[in-house]
Structure 1
Amino acid sequence: MSKVLQISGLAGAILTLFGIVAFFFTRNILDPYVLIHLGLGILGLLAYLTTQGGTLVGSMRLRSTRYGLHSVSYSLLFVGILILLNFLNTRYHYRWDLTEAKVFSLSPQSTKVLGQLNQDLLIYGFFERGENSRIADLIRSYTYHSPRIKFYAIDPDRRPEMAKQFKIQQVNTLHLIYGKESTNLTETTEEAVTNAIVKLTKVSKKNVYFLTGHGEPGMDDRQNSQGYAGAKEALENENYQVKEILLSTQEKVPAETSLLIIAGPQKPLLEHEISALENYLKSGGRLLAMLPSPGGDSLKNILSEWGVVVGDDIVVDQVIRLFAGASLGVEPIAETYSPLHPITREFKERTIFPLVRSIESADSPKGGLEATSLAKTSPTSWAEKDLDGVFKRGKASLGPEDKKGPVSIAVAVTANLKKLGLDRDGDAKIVVVGSAGFANNRFINIFFNRDFFLNAINWLAGQEEMISIRPRSVRSSRVQLTEREGTTVFYLSFLILPEILLIIGLAVWWRRR
């Protein structure tokens, strides 16, 4: 009987300890696990103390008992240190993302956007119970980077009045409030959340016009791989108002134009359009020209006046294919960027430029023109002059008239209007890319083409604070557990299994003793 009572004291201590630990994490005294462990544990301790109290006092005088108490003291000290470290971690914490793709980190653009918040951003998440873990982890990344983010998880079944107030139509919806602006968000990815924050925080939209009327691919064409629907969507996500302009029917570029895009014209511009374009630039306009492969384009002469040399060539590079060796390709990859220009100062990612021609800055530009090469192809590439050989015979070789790589394929120009002899202050800005296809539906989401495109847009539009690397649309794959499944995993891994191991270990020790 005495052995049973002694074991009851040991078991009571273990049960009480795990009951307290479970209550610390669940904060629910009525939890069955907590109730059972605390109840049985306290009964076991009371039974031991009421029957073995004298034996306990006597054993305190034994040397073995004193050694045991020392061990217990050190154990309690260790547990106390862990508790202190956990407390400090909740107050002063830092996160390390050790995954190769940084899937648990926010993108540079997201952190940049959060740093520009000047008032609190309220985020209400409407989720069914147990369905908000992934989204909560994402929003927790935002709150980590900015104290301005305030997140509230709402169960629409328990708070239907809030769901009605914010016009929530479905679960797993975020409602964002910034000042007087608000929006609902059903796509709960980092890209979608950051884009929503951008739209809420920007007070006005800038107008971006795509030039039409010369066989350019459509900006609303999603079916054609050559279309620019993906580029338009990316611009709208950055809070730009995107429109088309038929300049041949207008006297000049509209005054409200923040930026004009000329993307892959297949026919020459009319003299009237050329004149309107020149006047637009001389009045401080902003132009992004994405040129088609060499042909009878009319932009070459205009751009030369602004310090840009457009090559009548096609850039060819070696392509290494598994089991096939090296071959020639006309979709070169750029890996070298100017560290001096705002567009590419912090840009170190790969971009691909299909059917790209050389674009260089003039050797002796006019006074007031500052031209910078933004991107260059690899040293194994060259600018091929024999276009018939490339497009008709599928052959190319580096000849004496060709430009050896690295080849410049994009140039940015800042033009000081006063220094150019024009009677006005300010400047004009131009970005010229030798490929019309790098931002089309097929290529805009390959590598970091979208970031290069949008960074050029933001520089031209005077929004350099938006130049960054944007969120990737695909994040890590994760197992989604219901609340019941998550609770089961917690109890099994954190409480029950350690408890069983402790009981077995103490039982073996008691038997040997």
Structure 2
Amino acid sequence: MALNPARQQASEGAHAPHGEGWLLPLGMASLLLGLLFLFFWILLGLGLDGDAPDAEAATVIARRWVLLSIGCFLGLQGLVLVGVRLRRSEALGAGASRLALAANAVVMVALATVLLGLGNYVFSRHELWRADLTSQKLYTLSEESRRLVAALEGQVKLVALLPPGNREADAVERLLRQYRDASPRVLLESYNPRTLDSRELKLRLEALELDPDASEGELLGVVVQSGRADPSGEWRRERSKHIALHDFWKRDATDPSRRVFLGERLLSSAIREVTEGEPTRAYFLTGHGEKDIEDFEPRTGLSRLVQALRQRNVDVEELDLLTREGVTVPEDCDLLVVAGPRKALTEPEVAAVTRYLDGGGRALFLLEAWYRSAEDGGGTRFDASGLEEVLAQRYGIEPLDEAVLLLFADPRTQRQAATPQLWCESLDKTHPITQPLALRGARIAFYSARPIQHRPTLQVDARSLVTTASWGQRCFSTPDPARRMQTAELIRYGPFSIGVAAEYAPKPDAGEATPRKRSRVAVFGDVEWVTNQFLQEGAYSNQELFLNTFHWLLEEERLMVGESHRPTSYRLSMTSGALERIQALACPGLPAVALALGLFAWILRRRS
């Protein structure tokens, strides 16, 4: 029976000439082995530590040369064998063509993998180019730190005592270069203490105010100094702070196997400390059921807020006015924070706060919209903090005895319900606190907030910072939020102001030689927006709003930012049914799809 010429040609092309069938498998095996040797060469290079002894480092380098030589030889041999096999198959039929295409695809994928690995290694080791692909730019100098060094009046020198070839030290040195590039007032000096003789090392350590007899682990790190370079180029030091290398990293509390880099946090705090001298002091009022600054609970604690302040060279302390002699606010108080009092301040305490504000004090009032049943059982009522009269008389600010609720459709009952949790996108675009946030389209989350209204007052500039205008008629306030069914006489529709900032600038009396100091206050109708839960949420800008308010109260407008760095945790919540569907899709769903596609391709080829 005669064969089809095309089928006969394909059948002949599917078999290699005698003696040449071994070229392709041998070439592919040689190529893959070469890639494997090159892969181990890269891994051994990444594991080379600058802290290793010289003999051990020399052994590692020799092994790398052996791996590189063998890998290159096997790779080139494989390419030559595959190339010879493909050149001798040019005259064969369709079977050989398919074989050539498959071999070509394998070779191209292997070469692309090698080039990608080598390129990544070269770029990571020699700092030719880097890209920060994290959503919050965690490995790029933050806007706040750039503003900090740009606003420096004097000069800052960063002295790096770091060993080369150490990955931890390399991360610190990259960060130091970002500080240097951010401002001409930041100087960078770097040297390896292991390469200096004992006499020169001792002189340099004494100049840096470090103990020459300390261990190497205590000396390695960064020294941050403030001062100026005189006309002769000699550095005149004013203040100095040393940060050990091992302090730049810490174990993650939630995942001990993961380490967190604290470089920017430590360096910016040290720059503040050496340039500002005495730290800022913030006192948190206690004794009235306020939020605890040492509480780590998500919904009740302020530990994250206090941590953010301490990172910015702020001393945070609690203040119980009744335990102080004379019931007075300390003279070194730069900022007084009243975080959600649940019972009224006494008259002596209110008088002490009033005197502090009259003397040019700065205060942040977070007046919580909490409520409780009245003793006679007739509905609910709000408890006064005792500061309402002071805020109304001095600044024209009045916290209302109402709670803001948001209407939404309950998916379970398909009925309209109300929730005390809301987020606000309507921020004042002209006030220094909220302007950078408004330009970025930031959102602020609140929970059970009370409206804050302000009226025009002589010598007071009061402006609303955050409002519920974006919610329209879906947002309302009521003095009885515990009632399930709200009647028309209890409902008042917005928009509502949740936060107000005011500056009191009295005119000097006729007999005064110098004008009195200005006083600034910020009042928010909620305290939970600064608790741990809301400060760590990456979807909201609560942390940025608090820090900007803090800087504005202290007249540090140059440090206000639209976004700050913080690692964000994301949660994926799903029901048990959704989890079962995902598991069914992964196994056996995905393998079944692959088998179906293979069967479909086989049927198409059989028909052709």
- Where does residue 366 of structure 1 map in the other structure? 457
Residue aligned with 1:430, SS = strand
Please tell me whether residue 302 in structure 1 is matched to residue 390 in structure 2: yes
Give per-residue Cα distances to partners, 1:147-178, cap 9 Å, x unaligned.
33344555565569569648763698433233
Please tell me whether residue 290 in structure 1 is matched to residue 290 in structure 2: no
Letter in 2 for 1:178: S
CA distance in 1, matches of 2:437, 2:511: 34
Evaluate the alpha carbon distance shift between residue 129 and residue 410 of structure 1 in structure 2; reply closer, same or farther with a 3 A threshold: same
Task: Give TM-score, length-normalised by structure 1.
Answer: 0.65
Please tell me whether residue 314 in structure 1 is matched to residue 406 in structure 2: no
Find the partner of 1:213 among 284, 287, 298. 287
Contact 1:415 1:428 in 2 (8 A): yes
Please tell me whether residue 183 in structure 1 is matched to residue 230 in structure 2: no
CA distance in 2, matches of 1:311, 1:267: 16
- Where does residue 412 of structure 1 map in the other structure? 501
Evaluate the alpha carbon distance shift between residue 396 and residue 271 of structure 1 in structure 2; reply closer, same or farther with a 3 A threshold: same
Evaluate the alpha carbon distance shift between residue 368 and residue 197 of structure 1 in structure 2; reply closer, same or farther with a 3 A threshold: same
Contact 2:155 2:186 in 1 (8 A): no
Residue aligned with 2:268, SS = helix
Please tell me whether residue 110 in structure 1 is matched to residue 145 in structure 2: yes
Evaluate the alpha carbon distance shift between residue 170 and residue 436 of structure 1 in structure 2; reply closer, same or farther with a 3 A threshold: same
Contact 1:190 1:471 in 2 (8 A): no
- Where does residue 184 of structure 2 map in the other structure? 147
Contact 2:306 2:316 in 1 (8 A): yes
Evaluate the alpha carbon distance shift between residue 320 and residue 242 of structure 1 in structure 2; reply closer, same or farther with a 3 A threshold: farther
**Corresponding pairs, count:** 385
Equivalent runs, 1:144-293 vs 2, <5 Å: 144-152=181-189, 154-155=191-192, 158=195, 161=201, 165=212, 169=217, 173-179=221-227, 180-184=239-243, 186-187=247-248, 188-223=262-297, 225-249=299-323, 250-293=326-369
Contact 2:407 2:475 in 1 (8 A): no
Q: CA deviation at 1:408?
A: 0.9
Residue aligned with 1:238, SS = coil
CA distance in 2, matches of 1:128, 1:312: 63
Q: CA deviation at 1:267?
A: 0.9
Contact 1:418 1:426 in 2 (8 A): no
Evaluate the alpha carbon distance shift between residue 201 and residue 376 of structure 1 in structure 2; reply closer, same or farther with a 3 A threshold: same
Ranges in structure 1 where 5+ consecutive residues have no aligned partner: 1-29, 38-92, 477-513
Evaluate the alpha carbon distance shift between residue 330 and residue 158 of structure 1 in structure 2; reply closer, same or farther with a 3 A threshold: farther
Contact 1:127 1:153 in 2 (8 A): no
CA distance in 1, matches of 2:417, 2:509: 46
Task: Give TM-score, length-normalised by structure 2.
Answer: 0.56
Contact 1:106 1:471 in 2 (8 A): no
CA distance in 1, matches of 2:216, 2:411: 51
Give per-residue Cα distances to partners, 1:317-365, cap 9 Å, x unaligned.
3568999998643222122221222222222322212221111212xx3
Residue aligned with 1:277, SS = helix
Evaluate the alpha carbon distance shift between residue 135 and residue 206 of structure 1 in structure 2; reply closer, same or farther with a 3 A threshold: closer
Bigger CA drift: 462-471 or 301-310? 462-471
Q: Percent identity?
A: 26
Letter in 2 for 1:428: S
CA distance in 2, matches of 1:208, 1:152: 35
Q: CA deviation at 1:296?
A: 1.1
Contact 1:125 1:151 in 2 (8 A): no
CA distance in 2, matches of 1:309, 1:400: 21
Give per-residue Cα distances to partners, 1:120-146, cap 9 Å, x unaligned.
421415246241443333333223222
CA distance in 2, matches of 1:218, 1:421: 44
Residue aligned with 2:534, SS = coil
CA distance in 2, matches of 1:321, 1:370: 42
Residue aligned with 1:453, SS = helix
Evaluate the alpha carbon distance shift between residue 176 and residue 263 of structure 1 in structure 2; reply closer, same or farther with a 3 A threshold: same
Contact 1:199 1:237 in 2 (8 A): no
Ranges in structure 2 where 5+ consecutive residues have no aligned partner: 1-60, 70-127, 228-238, 249-261, 371-381, 570-608
CA distance in 2, matches of 1:338, 1:419: 30
Please tell me whether residue 129 in structure 1 is matched to residue 216 in structure 2: no
Q: CA deviation at 1:284?
A: 2.0
Higher RCO (Cα < 8 Å, 6 or more apart): 1
Q: CA deviation at 1:308?
A: 0.6
Q: CA deviation at 1:110?
A: 1.1
Letter in 2 for 1:213: G
Letter in 1 for 2:433: I
Letter in 1 for 2:526: S
Find the partner of 1:445 among 527, 533, 536. 536
CA distance in 2, matches of 1:475, 1:183: 29
Letter in 2 for 1:441: N
Give per-residue Cα distances to partners, 1:64-113, cap 9 Å, x unaligned.
xxxxxxxxxxxxxxxxxxxxxxxxxxxxx999978754455422211111
Evaluate the alpha carbon distance shift between residue 150 and residue 434 of structure 1 in structure 2; reply closer, same or farther with a 3 A threshold: same
Contact 1:285 1:428 in 2 (8 A): yes
Q: CA deviation at 1:290?
A: 0.4
Q: CA deviation at 1:442?
A: 2.5
CA distance in 2, matches of 1:125, 1:237: 23
Contact 2:223 2:240 in 1 (8 A): no
